[in-house]
Amino acid sequence: MRPFAIGTLSEQTGVKIPTIRFYESIGLLPAPERTQTNRRTYDESTVRRLRFIRNARELGFEVEAIRSLLDLADNPGKPREEVDAAARDHLADIDDRIARLTRLRSEVQVLADPRPSGQAGGRLLQALSDHDLSHHETC
């Protein structure tokens, strides 16, 4: 297949051009081939790699974790225990975020529940102005 421009790569992967350039600058994507007029050109292997990166980002993996996963994908002889460890670490991060969001939801729910005086918005504004207030202090 013929090489194609960065705009085509963006269209095929759903990744914006500045993000593609960023991934190149940090080494997640290899430096592209260049035409005689210095335009970047890409091939299907770049499409596959960029989709891998996009999917990993959508699953919440950080850049360094993606770098490790790409290294494992590029070197199939490496022990798969590293992939399992990365998945376990990511799962622990997800569980931590869920716990924090659950606590946050409880606090915002208390702030959003209107009192008989209709002061829900006032309590929310007060809590946002002084984030040290716990939900117990705003009730």
Higher pLDDT, 34 or 1: 34
Residue 121 banded pLDDT, cuts 50, 70, 90: low
Q: Which of 99, 106, 103, 138 is nearest to 122 (CA)?
A: 138
| pLDDT (0 to 100) of residue 15 | 96
Residue 134 banded pLDDT, cuts 50, 70, 90: very low
Residue that is written with structure tokens 């490496």 in the block: 78
DSSP codes of every residue in 98-139:
HHHHHHHHHHHHHHHSPPTT--HHHHHHHHHH-TT--HHHH-
Give me 110's structure tokens.
């208390």
Q: pTM to 2 decimals?
A: 0.69
The b-or-e profile of 2-26 (16+ CB within 10 A means b, else e) is eebebeebbeebebeeeebeebbee
Encode pLDDT of 55-68 as tens digits. 999 998 889 889 98
The b-or-e profile of 71-82 (16+ CB within 10 A means b, else e) is ebeeeeeeeeee
Maximal CA-CA distance, the chain: 73
Encode pLDDT of 88-120 as tens digits. 988 999 999 999 999 888 888 877 776 655 555
| pLDDT (0 to 100) of residue 129 | 73
